[in-house]
Amino acid sequence: MKVAAVQMVSGVSLADNLAQARSLLEQAAQAGAELAVLPEYFGAMGLRDSDKLTLCETWGDGAIQRFLAGAARELDLWIVGGTLPLACDSPGRVHNSTLVFSAQGECVARYDKIHLFRFDNGRERFDEAQTIQAGREPARFTMVARSGTPWRVGLSVCYDLRFPELYRAHARAGADLLLVPSAFTYTTGRAHWEVLLRARAVENLAYVLAPAQGGQHENGRRTWGHSMLVDPWGTVLAQQDEGPAVVLGELDAAHLAQVRGQLPALEHCVL
């Protein structure tokens, strides 16, 4: 099955970002992708953290959700909507949520980001908990490729990547593909992005598809990019350093079965 990681450099305008996302999704569909995944915060990278509150939608309706449903249906493409802000029960906060839309335009899964990023090196400071309410439960979905092969998919977002327990839970539930839509900072991405993605693939014997924000944003932030597809042996199959792009690659069920058969590490796990 061909899949696509959509890399963006989202700005502050929702309309402009959705237009760019639509163009990149069209490229993915034209290239034969059956699944396309947008990066974290694809709809907007605001001037202030609180800007996401103004874009908050109620689950089930809103401009971003209508965009995702319409694009999936019109392009005959499964689309994972990176993240968007959804209403929560905590005043002044939102959930940072991933929504999955089938090729029929139906929302079939939702994941609220569990682990919230906090970083302060004296020059850069981030604290997502100021505006985001953490999710509580992992989420997975199953899609059937046009070939008839089912793929079990585990959802995660950005900072989740540093917590292997989440991915092991996905593996124990039968996940074949792990998704990591992200907006890694340039500093942390340069240090840890690739090694963490490859580790999650190797230790869980699964494909990892990681679309990212990648470049210099209007708000002054620089993100690492390097969207990539990693196979279950830890090989990087496709990658884009910076800039808007569609990173394409193939998932091979036979290769997945071969790797799991020759090194059945998941069966040997005792803790």
Residues (pLDDT < 50) of the chain are none
State the CATH number of the domain containing residue 48: 3.60.110.10
Among residues 40, 57, 128, 242, the one annotated as catalytic is 40
Mean pLDDT estimate for the chain: 97
d(CA 210, CA 208): 6
The number of distinct structural domains making up the chain is 1
Global pTM value = 0.98
Is 107 labeled as catalytic in the residue annotation? Answer: no
Nearest to 55 by CA among 41, 72, 69: 41
User: Catalytic annotation on 242?
Assistant: no
- For residue 35, the enclosing domain spans 2-268
- List Cβ neighbours of 168 (8 Å cut-off, separation of 6 or more): 203, 204, 269
* Residue 55 tokens, joined: 């874009």
- Over residues 157-198, the pLDDT tens digits come to 999 999 999 999 999 999 999 999 999 999 999 999 999 999
Q: What is the pLDDT of residue 34?
A: 99
Q: What integer pLDDT is reported at residue 156 of this predicted model? A: 99
User: Active-site residue among 34, 57, 128, 158?
Assistant: 158
Distances (CA, A) of 83 to 10, 96, 206: 12, 6, 22
* Pairwise CA distance, residues 125 & 114, whole Å: 20
CA–CA distance from 45 to each of 25, 33, 48 (Å)? 19, 26, 8
Residue among 52, 57, 113, 242 flagged as catalytic: 113
- Give me the helix-helix angle, 186-204 and 164-172, nearest 10°: 30
Residues 81 and 250: their CA atoms lie apart, in Å, by: 20
**Residue 40 known to be catalytic:** yes
Structure token pair of residue 40: 């974290």
